[in-house]
Amino acid sequence: MWPFLKKARASKNADPQGAGAARRKPMRFEDLVADMGDFSDLAKHDVALKFWLPEPVSFALTEMGELGGESRSEMLRRFLTQHCYGVYAAQVMSAAVPEIFRDPPPVRFSRSAPTPPPGKVRIDTYWVPEFGKNVVPIKVWVPSRLRNDLEALAAHVDITLSQYVREIVISRLLGHGALPKRPQMLEAAPLSSVEDWCEGRQVPMRLATEEEFWDHPHGEHTVEWKDEPTSSA
């Protein structure tokens, strides 16, 4: 059903011209559905996809998720699946496997600090990357097949995967009619570090508040126990 994506995954031994093949009949609706194949692997969100969005788009994405009762990750999986395989296929997948776009149950953990050793005080330090002005980093877990197919589509138009996904999300949220005004609407000043982060490379870190750390998809946290200051008599 998706010949370009199948071709990208196929071996090089296939006959590119289809020489000697019989003329195919028009595909019936039943054939269209059957040709989707097994898509149960698309319910396994096993690989991270990282990109960035301008702040207004990130806010719109969050608000849309709240209105529709979906998390940001669930909505992005649905957007990207529809882009790759079509709205109809995404609807068939959702009906057959209701949890296909859903997040797994949250892992519960406590942020409460442990009791300090006698005579010690806890010092927490937080770091996050600096990515630039009006830039919101996004990290979403998606199926391996979906990420690979998005990479094939991005390579076909000769842009990076993160840029390709950003264009999908912006167009999906704001429409193609907003294209002439997009530079003014979505002005951003990304640093090179954000593309390094998207590609899994090392990025410089800066000191951050605890709130920045918990709101950021990439951060570091260290804990030190230091001697309590002694008061002079």
In contact, 128 and 218? CB cutoff 8 Å:
yes
* Rounded mean pLDDT, 6-35: 62
pLDDT of res. 145: 93
Judge whether residue 21 has pLDDT over 70: no
Q: For residue 134, what pLDDT is reported? A: 84
| pLDDT of the residue at 24 | 64
Does residue 12 surpass a pLDDT of 50?
no
Burial 62-76 (b: 16+ CB within 10 A, else e): eeebeeeebbbbbbb
Q: What is the mean pLDDT of residues 114-122?
A: 81
What is the pLDDT confidence band of residue 56, given thresholds at 50, 70 and 90? confident
- The more confidently predicted of residues 195 and 11 is 195
The pLDDT tens digits for 41-51 are 899 999 999 99
pLDDT band at 52 (very low <50, low <70, confident <90, very high): very high
Largest CA distance in the chain: 99
Joined together, the tokens standing for residue 21 give 């093949």
Average pLDDT, rounded, for the chain: 83
Which of 4-8, 130-134, 150-154 reaches the highest mean pLDDT?
Answer: 150-154
